[in-house]
Structure 1
Amino acid sequence: MATMKDIAEAAGISIGTVDRIIHNRGRYSEETAELVRKAMKELNYTPNIHARGLKQTKKHIFSVVLPKREQDGGYWRLVEEGILKAANELASFGNDIRIFPFDRYSSASCINALYMALSSDTEGMLIAACRPDDMRAPLEDTDLPYIFIDTNIPDLKQRTAYIGQDSRQSGILAGKLMSLLISGRASAGQDQYVLVVDPPGSNFHLYNRIEGFRYYMDAVMPEIRLITLKAEVDNESHFHSRLKEFHIKNQALPIGIFAANSSVYYIASFLEKEGDEYRSVPLVGYDIIPGRESAIEKGTIDFILTQQPEVQGYRGIIMLYDHIVLRKEVSKEVIMPLNIITRENIHTFTGYMNG
């Protein structure tokens, strides 16, 4: 790993001068600072976040296009918290992060927020591309760099990077977890099924999760039917009504339920309300939502897969800064690990709020 001494030798200056430039203190020329930047890049030297502002005189502005924080059970609030953490760290170096929220279930709201960001004096954007059909045309016409989080649109030319899960693989993992949960419940000769809840606002990302889940279940437990229940509104009472209507129509309870996003908490509250027989149905879904962990603690939700939304938001802003301000190369794809959360380990995860 390169040191300040290595930087000094490469730039032909003293260690003290390198230290002053890295920590932005004392007097030095812009020409010397440029020599240090060049040496740092060549030696792949990365100072900590508090040493990243090498004599910046320009204010850098980045935009974030993100669904409203309360939507999808509060999932986007977690993404926003990571963004704000990065924004606070970068603020002392003259950087400004502006958030343009939109209604994730409204095409007009999404397009309006994106055009507002594009028409501002931004130098780059962090975008949750959960409405890819609405976002594609405006993004094809811009020369601004942008990073996607949560959902990817891989073929756009100006896409700098993507941060998120391998959504299909996460669906396959969810299928494996479900098969383990129901293996003792499946009975030969009986018509049994797993309920797949397709949440509102489905996109490429959620579609791949469901497709991965179906792929695994069809391969491993072909005798189990998979029935899809489509929810139209991101609202807990709507989910309860749809689940109640479904049960009245079908009578027999499913032997398992898979939810493709954080709507799993809406399903959990319905099962708890309906009593012990419902509560015993295996349930798999996504994301820790602060304030709703009791469904995991009580075992109503058996498995949660988390994609670390706070980390996605934080890393997205830092990568924009590295790419635009420091002119560093950044990874084209950052695939988040697939963490599995249960009642036995939930207390070990960041974001957990006991009580």
Structure 2
Amino acid sequence: MTIKDIAKQAGVSIGTVDRVLHNRGRVSVETARRIRAIVKESGYKPNMYASTLSSSRHYTLAALTPRHDQDGGFWELPAKGLLRAETELEQFSIHVVRYEFDRYSEDSFRQEAERIIADRPDGLIIAPVLPSPARRLIDALKGNIPYVLFDSNLPETTALAFIGQDSYCSGILAGKLMKLLSPNPDTCVIIQSVIPDVHITGRINGFLSQYADDEKPPLVIEEHIEDRNVCTKFMDTLLSQRPEVEGIFVTNASCHRVAEYLEQRFPQGSPIKVIGYDLIPPNKECLKRGYIDFIISQRPERQGFEAVYTLYRKLVLKREPSSRIVMPLDILTKENVDFYR
């Protein structure tokens, strides 16, 4: 059944059918009733693909993320997903504009947020690694722009969707893996290497839940080890004060800094086990050389990809997307990393 068939059966023009289907223009009540009855009886579904292509509307999506060179280059991965989705949706006039901020500076976030508000995009993708300024941005939107959160969630917001891993469950997984490598909690250290947000806190709490029955749970230390010199000084101090350390859990993608330090200190192989996140190139190399034992991947490229498609479904197809898209928890080792896609 086509619009032409409906028009012929209803005894009206194609234009009249189009006005009824899209609720625009003036059509008599009786004619509209007759057309809708035919549509319902025939099970007609509008061709969204064709109608979208025929539209001259252009959509601009703003993507607000940390600088691509931070967190060991992690943010290049979701950026690839943003670009891939934009390329696939080019025929629907979807355009993604990236805005980058310094993840250690609320002022930097605020400046980029002000640019976004001034530019008035049709939709917004946010990596809310700085929760407070992210909430202020959301408040400033006043519900006028649909937005999607990825990488980290902000509970009690009106986000169209959250796309990312279950951080607490990923922490549980990391804790179970660490217990296999180093069962004694006294010899385990958690390095919180970035400003805490919801997903970092979730990882830590999930990890610690595996040691709930132990008298002395693993020690949590906040240190921004992304800088090589900072990491070297930190690790020197840590191992001099706690030479019994056997396991280190790094809560983000900076675990390669710890691994590189251990490789220099123990060139024949490190006795200290390391677990971290994200398959950025330096992490992959350290994993293959045996100085990282497990990497937990959260598929950041797919997160960026799904974020664009979520807004596309809402803005272009006028469909309500899934409110929560949870990434699998992939465990990577030196034995399987080359086969991971």
TM over 0.5: yes
Paired position in structure 2 for 1:177: 177
For structure 1, which runs of at least 5 residues remain unmatched after alignment? 1-7, 15-27, 351-355
Are residues 1:238 and 2:239 paired? no
Partner of 2:239: 247
- The 2-side partners of 1:279 and 1:174 are apart by 19
Please point out which of 227, 237, 248 is paired with 2:219. Answer: 227
Identify the residue that residue 212 of structure 1 maps to in structure 2: 206
192, 196, 201: which one pairs with 2:190? 196
Q: 1:318 is paired with a residue of what secondary structure?
A: helix
Distance verdict in 2 for CA 1:44–1:313, change over 3 Å: farther
Deviations 1:78-123 (A, max 9, x none): 0111111111222233222111110111000011111211221311
TM-score normalised according to structure 2 size: 0.84
CA displacement at 1:278 relative to structure 2: 6.7
1:348 deviation in Å? 1.6
Paired residues of 2:178 and 2:275 also in contact (CA < 8 A):
yes
CA–CA separation in structure 2 for the residues paired with 1:273 and 1:54: 57
Structure 2 CA distance for partners of 1:43 and 1:32, relative to 1, 3 Å = closer
Return closer, same or farther for 1:33/1:339 CA change in 2, 3 Å cut-off: farther
Deviation of 1:276 after TM superposition, in Å, equals 4.9
Task: Provide the residue aligned with 1:131 in structure 2.
Answer: 130
Partners of 1:336 and 1:164 in 2: CA distance = 5
Give, in whole Å, the separation in 2 of the partners of 1:34 and 1:324: 21
Q: CA 1:286 to 1:45, structure 2 compared with 1: closer, same or farther past 3 Å? A: farther
Give the 3 Å change call, closer, same or farther, for CA 224–246 of structure 1 in structure 2: same
Are the equivalent residues in 2 in contact too, given 1:193–1:225 (CA < 8 A)?
Answer: no
Residue of structure 2 equivalent to 1:109 = 108
SS at match of 1:205: helix
SS in 2 for 1:64: strand
Matched ranges for 1:71-82 at <5 A: 71-82=70-81
Identity percentage of aligned residues: 29
Question: Residue 25 of structure 1 aligns with which residue?
Answer: none
In structure 1, C-alpha distance between the alignment counterparts of 2:171 and 2:51, rounded to whole Å: 38
Return closer, same or farther for 1:100/1:45 CA change in 2, 3 Å cut-off.
same
> How do 1:50-65 residues align onto structure 2 when only pairs under 5 Å count?
53-65=52-64
1:300 aligns with 2:291: yes
User: By how many angstroms is 1:57 displaced?
Assistant: 0.6
Equivalent in the alignment of 1:282: 273
CA, structure 1 residues 349+65, in 2 after alignment: closer, same or farther (shift >3 Å)? same
- 1:233-292, Cα deviation, whole Å (9 max, x unpaired): 631221122111222233x14121101111111111111110157712111110101254
Q: Determine the C-alpha separation between the residues in 1 that align with 2:313 and 2:51.
A: 9
Partner of 1:322 in structure 2? Answer: 313
Q: Does 2:259 correspond to 1:265?
A: no
The superposition leaves residues 180-226 of structure 1 with CA deviations (integer Å, 9 ceiling, x where unpaired) of 1124xx4xxxx93201101122212101101110111234xx15641
State the partner residue of 1:100: 99
Closer, same or farther in 2 for the Cα pair 1:52/1:267, shift >3 Å?
farther
Tell me if the contact between 1:265 and 1:295 (Cα under 8 Å) persists in the aligned partners. Answer: yes
Give the aligned partner of residue 23 of structure 1: none
Letter in 1 for 2:255: V
Q: Is the 8 A contact 2:225 2:257 kept in 1?
A: no
1:141 CA displacement: 3.0
Q: Could you tell me how far apart the structure 2 residues matched to 1:44 and 1:245 are? A: 67
User: What amino acid does structure 1 have at the position aligned with 2:165?
Assistant: Q
Q: 1:200 to 1:44 in 2, by over 3 A?
A: farther
Structure 1 residue 346 displacement after superposition: 0.6
Change (3 A) 1:232 1:56: same
**Contact 2:182–2:188 under 8 Å retained in 1:** no
Q: Is the 1:280–1:300 Cα contact (8 Å) retained in structure 2?
A: no
Q: 1:43 to 1:261 in 2, by over 3 A?
A: farther
- Distance change >3 Å, CA 87–CA 179, structure 1 → 2: same
Evaluate the alpha carbon distance shift between residue 198 and residue 58 of structure 1 in structure 2; reply closer, same or farther with a 3 A threshold.
Answer: same
Q: TM-score normalized by structure 1?
A: 0.81
- The CA RMSD over aligned residues, in Å, is 2.8
State the alpha-carbon separation in 1 of the partners of residues 76 and 120 from structure 2.
25
> Given that residues 269 and 291 in structure 2 are in contact (C-alpha distance below 8 angstroms), is that contact kept between their aligned partners in structure 1?
no
Give the Cα–Cα distance (whole angstroms) in 1 for the partners of residues 94 and 122 of structure 2.
Answer: 11
Q: Distance in 2 between matches of 1:177 and 1:52?
A: 51
Residue 53 of structure 2: SS of its match in structure 1? coil
Note the C-alpha offset of 1:298. Answer: 2.0
Residues 34 and 210 of structure 1: is their aligned pair in 2 closer, same or farther, counting only changes over 3 Å? farther
Residue matched to 1:4: none
- Distance, in Å, in 2 between the alignment partners of 1:349 and 1:200 is 27
Q: Which amino acid aligns with 2:297?
A: T
